[in-house]
Amino acid sequence: MTTATPDPIADLHAARRNNWNTWVATHAEMNPDGEALRYLGQATTWSQLHERSGKFADALARRGVGEGDRVMLITLNTPEFIEAVLGINLLGAIAVPVNFRLTPPELAYLVSDCTPKVVVTDAMLAPLVGAIRAQGEEPGDHIVIGGESGTPDQTTYADALAEAGEPHARVDVPEDATALIMYTSGTTGRPKGAMLSYENLTAQSLTCIRVFRLFDEEGRALCAAPMFHIAALGSIAPSLQLGGVTVIHPLQAFDPVGLLDTLEAEEITSIFLVPVQWQAVCAEQQANPRNLRLRNISWGAAPSTDTILRAMAETFPDALNAAVFGQTEMSPITCALDGDDAIRKLGSVGKVIPTVQARVVDPFGEPVPQGEVGEIVYRGPTMMKGYWNKPEETAEAFEGGWFHSGDLVRVDEEGFVYVVDRKKDMIISGGENIYCAEVENTIAGHPRVREVAVIGRKDDKWGEVPVAVVAQNESDGPDLTLDELTEWLRERLAGFKLPKDLVHVDELPRNASGKVVKGTLRSEHGSVGV
């Protein structure tokens, strides 16, 4: 490990960098005892956050982590997650948060793709590392958050911070360097790692500040989304920049009673939830009102109904209500819808935000007339650098110099965007993205399945759920049941990706070129009650 050598000029230059470690260092200098994070009633001050993230960087450096190296995070929502991301970035290394709900084969693929030097897990998720190794992949050194002591092949997070040794060498990290790799599935069914830079995250922070009107350091934002989602990291960024408090909500089964109690006890001013969660929160607040200080409430990740929107307006009349839309590759927000327009423009995802350029184009990249359907493409400071280790997919995504979203939209005369379909066949279920090709590729491996297509079906609770339409091998006797398929899939797919219904057909409808006509399947099987 390189020993840190004081260099006032280099430190001064690095202090000018616009990234979240610089923001934290500023608050630690100017407001050391101010609260930065809260978790289960316990506070982490700005000076503590700065010190602990630095000590984690020291521990990583002792393990050979340096500029450009990857560190994978398979964790729940904890303060240590934020400390770890900051510590990783202090070295110029790249944080790779991944969904802890993924199965060992799915996680093993991510390890093979990004080749991390270190993996960080919570104690309860630590067995996943052994399961990944059983798949033939080596995720690197293992640091465990929580737990009493490490084993020969792992170190506890607390022990790592307490290790003796020289501090890490100061690294001047450019704003255009990659800070995060956020995995998102593609049409091939293999996840792709979107590389997000510090510039992207700064622009995302400014977007949130504008959309949610977060203009002072008195804000207290509740982070209830899983931290492996860009929605969570994107919402944490403005608090780190402005010096507000991030209150971390533990990940557990959604409980509107417990959530509202937290909103009251922690005096939360800002929160984002998906529509189905807002429905439950509004009902509980109306039945048992709390004394809340919400200034802004926001929603997204799934369509909302006018019933939910009206309930939000009636339950929280003094709060700014805004919806946001976007995708991981754009850090993520691209469109925003003010609550005043939500019912008037029901079904719209809002207008394109001013810091993003957008066009709606035909298959040849030419703009379509207003009101006609085309693919929305973007460019701007929130646009990712590209996909990790996938130059061909990156070139395809940036064809013509714009990022191709895969969303088919129309834009009305007032500039409001309406998503009418998804080129990539993505299903949004309870705020989770499910990519049909990935599920199809897995189901196709079942020995009794001849061919399969997966479609989305509207669902009152989840917004959409996946449905498998299967043509079975003719000589295999009785129809494959949903329970049998589910049991087979549990070891191969995360639970939220499992089909909620199974439909049998003699053969899938295809067009002249042999492609499955999913429009036919949706019209025949996409509206049946589950």
pLDDT in tens, 277-300: 898 999 999 999 999 999 999 988
Sheet containing strand 449-459, strands side by side: 449-459, 463-472, 501-504
**Closest Cα partner for 88 from 114, 115, 120?**
120
Q: What is the pTM of this model?
A: 0.83
Q: How many CB atoms lie within 10 A of CB 64?
A: 12
pLDDT of residue 500: 94
Structural domains in the chain, CATH included, are 8-23+39-173 (3.40.50.12780), 194-422 (3.40.50.12780), 426-525 (3.30.300.30)
Contacts of residue 232, defined as CB under 8 A and 6 or more positions apart, other chains included, come to 77, 223, 225, 226
pLDDT of residue 122: 94
* 459-493: pLDDT as tens digits: 888 888 999 999 898 766 788 999 999 999 998 89
**Closest Cα partner for 240 from 526, 34, 2, 524?**
34
Q: From the CA atom positions of the chain, what is the Rg in Å? A: 23
pLDDT of residue 339: 80
Sheet containing strand 94-97, strands side by side: 155-156, 141-145, 118-122, 70-74, 94-97, 178-185, 191-197, 386-387
- Lowest-confidence range among 76-80, 139-143, 338-342? 338-342
* 149-158: pLDDT as tens digits: 667 788 999 9
Per-residue CA distances from 67 to 16, 50, 94, 177, 483 (Å): 19, 19, 8, 10, 47
Give the N- to C-terminal CA distance of the chain in Å, as an integer. Answer: 58
Half-sphere exposure of 520 (CA within 13 A, CB side): 11
CA–CA distance, 22 with 78 (Å, rounded to integer) = 21
Q: Is the peptide bond before 332 cis (omega within 30 degrees of 0)?
A: yes
* 224-254: pLDDT as tens digits: 989 998 989 988 999 999 999 999 999 888 8
